[in-house]
Chain A
Amino acid sequence: DAGITQSPRHKVTETGTPVTLRCHQTENHRYMYWYRQDPGHGLRLIHYSYGVKDTDKGEVSDGYSVSRSKTEDFLLTLESATSSQTSVYFCAISELGTGNTEAFFGQGTRLTVV
């Protein structure tokens, strides 16, 4: 199994509070991704990174920011959590950004905003 660790695995937080989710990899892969998964929507891309300090937005980036100061860590921050951000969040890594490269996923973080 690819070395991907998401933390925390579960979190309950209050509306309006900041929340940071962490994705840590031991594979030295260049690309890292954050997805959210909600019933009826499959997985939707929030942000991704193609190198240290290099990030870009995905299809549902509003309300989220990311940072990548080291190859192994990709942080997802909800500046002011809302109930609509209650979801399961998955991190993924990929050695390259080409079509001929597979991705590996973490086990997910279940976030509940009350």
Chain B
Amino acid sequence: DAKTTQPNSMESNEEEPVHLPCNHSTISGTDYIHWYRQLPSQGPEYVIHGLTSNVNNRMASLAIAEDRKSSTLILHRATLRDAAVYYCILRDTGNQFYFGTGTSLTVIP
């Protein structure tokens, strides 16, 4: 399965936008890019996913590079409740998906 690379940690000020990067240079044409987040003491929570085009939903936006070798999760206005570990995952039709160690986001009041 293709792997992803994320920074171990990032900080953001409250009410400012946050851009969480992810590199996936070995992505295949059928891999979807998924983002999940995990709040403290909870199970992971689905955030967003996409294939080629940028995607928006109520939680976040996903910007995908034209060559698909990288993507960015955008939280438009960080709140304290957004402090979590964010995972970027590639998923295809192989029935499985693998998590890396993710990016720990700290939101500063």
Contacts and interface: CB of A to CB of B under 8 A. Distances in A.
A101 B32 CA distance: 9
Interface residues of A, number: 28
Interface string A92-104: 1000011111111
Interface string B72-109: 00000000000000010011111111111110000000
Interface stretch (B17-25, B38-46, B60-68): B38-46
Contact of A108 (B43, B46, B49, B51): B43
Given A102-B34, A107-B42, A42 B87 contact: yes
Size band of the interface chain B makes with A: 20 to 34
Contacts, number: 61
A74 interface: no
Contacts of A44: 98-99
Interface of B: 30-32, 34, 36, 42-46, 49, 51, 87, 90-102
